[in-house]
Amino acid sequence: MAKTASITLTERLTSIISVLQKVAMGDFSQTIEIPEKEDEFTELLVALNLMADDLKELTTGLEEKINEKTKILEKKLTETERLNKLMVDRELEMRELKKRIKELENK
């Protein structure tokens, strides 16, 4: 009986570790199966599943914030590039005007 219980415990721990490794790698869709019959592992398994769910929610929330901030930055970059082009064009125009003024003064 002790050998059977030991194998079952080893198998369960191996299964749990496998799921936890996947969660640690960012696969938050993984869940640990909770057996119908409650035992000393039930509370631990429920807590691990809840933790994985919390991590999924946090990650999703962070990804949404990153996407929002990225869009804002892209808009600001586009506007900055547009303004920069205007300033460069005006600077070139000013140089050309100065050159023409100098030519007219020399006539």
Q: Are 32 and 15 in contact (CB under 8 A)?
A: yes
The tokens describing 22, both together, are: 């996947």
pLDDT at site 4 = 58
Summarised one tens digit per residue, pLDDT across range 32-74 is: 888 888 888 889 999 999 999 999 999 999 999 999 999 999 9
Measured CA to CA, the distance from residue 92 to residue 65 in angstroms comes to 40
pTM: 0.62
DSSP 8-state class, residue 46: H
- Confidence grade of residue 11 (pLDDT, cut at 50, 70, 90): confident
